[in-house]
Amino acid sequence: MRTEAVMGKRKFDDEQITIILKEHQAGVTVADVCHKHGISEPTFYRWQSLQFGNVGLEAKRVRALEEENQKLKKLLAEAMLSAATLSEMLAKTSKGRN
């Protein structure tokens, strides 16, 4: 029994998979990439579909972060305006007492 074939043990990490997929994007055929790295074509295409799926998830995450950033900027602007208004009012009231 080969120990490398145990379920759950990965031969390649995410960074290595990305490098392998980029080789194909650079113009190397799928067959050549698979032969070079000792993987099957179905594995290559599964990695490719997962990689593109992650791009969609990443885009959603970025959009959500951008929306949250806009809300926080608005809250900061409102808080700064409120602080400036309070400072002006305090300055006027302290001048009136002198």
Q: Structure tokens of 29?
A: 């055929």
- Tens-place pLDDT, residues 7-36: 556 788 888 888 999 999 899 999 999 999
With 0.75 as the threshold, say if the pTM is over it.
Answer: no
What is the rounded (10 degree) CA torsion for 17, 9, 44, 39?
100
What pLDDT is recorded for position 43?
Answer: 93
CA-closest candidate to residue 20, choices 39, 1, 4, 42? 39
- Tens-place pLDDT, residues 48-96: 888 876 666 677 788 899 999 999 999 999 999 999 999 999 998 888 6
Q: Is 12 exposed, middle or buried (0-12, 13-18, 19+ CB in 10 A)?
A: middle
What pLDDT is recorded for position 75?
Answer: 97
